[in-house]
Amino acid sequence: MIFARNLSRLMLLLLTGLVAAAMMLPILLTVTNSLMTEGELSFNYSLLGVVTEASAQAKFVNLKLIPDWVTLSQYAKLLDSTPKFLQMFWNSIKLVVPIVAGQTAVATLAAYAFARLRFKGRDVLFMVYLITMVLPFQVTLVPNYLMIERLGLMNTSGAVILPGVFGVFGIFMIRQFMASLPFVYTEAARMDGAGHGRIFWEIILPLTKPGLAALVILLFVDYWNMVEQPLIFLKEEFDYPLSLYLAYIQESERGVVFAASVLYMTPMVLLFLYAESYLVEGIEHSGIKG
């Protein structure tokens, strides 16, 4: 019996290990390949891109994890010779931080109203919100575009930030999180004479911290990777965020691709590592999977 249980645990471990390895492989490959020389990468990936004599004979891409010669030259090249990368990196920060901060603030207040206040039409309004959330971006693109143009925000950061600040996902997630909080805290506070402001600020908000952390991470990842919004609302290339950078890299810069990818995902990874526990807790309470 014990043996069977251990065996099943072992099998489960192996299975999850395999899945984890499969998930980790692209990231690991990106990191290790970013430390390879351009020549080594050209050889490994000769099958991709322009057909040469060498690539014509190759049948598979050579996915190597261990570099022949570890070098940071790709990073140096990326940072030294391609200032566009740095500019796009800060563009991303410039777009994503206000969106995340704005949407978190708006979502927290709106979620409090949906979760804790009782007013006529609350549930209907929330349903409408949910409907807009499930609509894909492409469906709301035209009205969004028209509104942005009317507001005179076209080709400015505001064209991306403003719709992001009023995103529905944050409201939905925080509302779910707040709804899971026991009402006894707020009832007790109310009995002690606390108003909505005080209840929100001193009771609900501290309790929602894990949910907010989870929201921040999910929003950051979502908007850090956005492609359509900047492509549609921004005309100038130097306003583009980093998520569009890879499109500008040429075939001869494979090493730069890997280096750029590593630097691109680093903020997300760091944010995840920092707030991992909050994320798990937040998702658990809100019942939402990212």
What is the residue-wise DSSP string for 189-210?
Answer: HHHTT--HHHIIIIIIHHHTHH
Binding residue count for another protein, defined by CB under 8 A: 20
Q: Does 238 bind another protein (CB under 8 A)?
A: yes
Alpha-carbon separation of residue 106 from 51, 113, 146, 165 (angstroms): 52, 11, 23, 7
- Tell me how far apart the alpha carbons of residues 92 and 244 are, in angstroms, rounded to a whole number: 10
- Cβ neighbors of 44 (< 8 A, separation 6 or more) are 33, 36, 61, 62, 63, 64
- Phi/psi at 151 (5° precision): -80, -5
Return the range that interacts with another protein (CB under 8 A); candidates 28-36, 41-49, 74-82, 126-134: 74-82
State which residue, 86 or 128, has the beta carbon closest to another protein: 86
Q: Does 16 bind another protein (CB under 8 A)?
A: no
State which residue, 111 or 263, has the beta carbon closest to another protein: 263
- The minimum distance between CB 79 and another protein, in angstroms, equals 5
Return the range that interacts with another protein (CB under 8 A); candidates 2-10, 33-41, 175-183, 260-268: 260-268
State which residue, 91 or 108, has the beta carbon closest to another protein: 91
Q: Does 81 bind another protein (CB under 8 A)?
A: yes
CB–CB of 234/163 below 8 Å? no
Residue 89 tokens, joined: 């990196």
Looking at 46-184, which runs of residues are DSSP E strands? none
Q: Does 139 bind another protein (CB under 8 A)?
A: no
State which residue, 252 or 266, has the beta carbon closest to another protein: 266
Return the range that interacts with another protein (CB under 8 A); candidates 15-23, 179-187, 250-258, 261-269: 261-269
Q: Does 155 bind another protein (CB under 8 A)?
A: no
- The minimum distance between CB 266 and another protein, in angstroms, equals 6
Q: Which helix (H) or strand (E) is 273 found in, with range?
A: helix 254-274
Q: Does 87 bind another protein (CB under 8 A)?
A: yes
- The minimum distance between CB 270 and another protein, in angstroms, equals 5
- Tell me how far apart the alpha carbons of residues 60 and 184 are, in angstroms, rounded to a whole number: 63
Residue 18 tokens, joined: 């395999």
Enumerate binding residues for another protein (CB under 8 A). 79-81, 83-90, 236, 238, 263, 266-267, 270, 273-274, 277
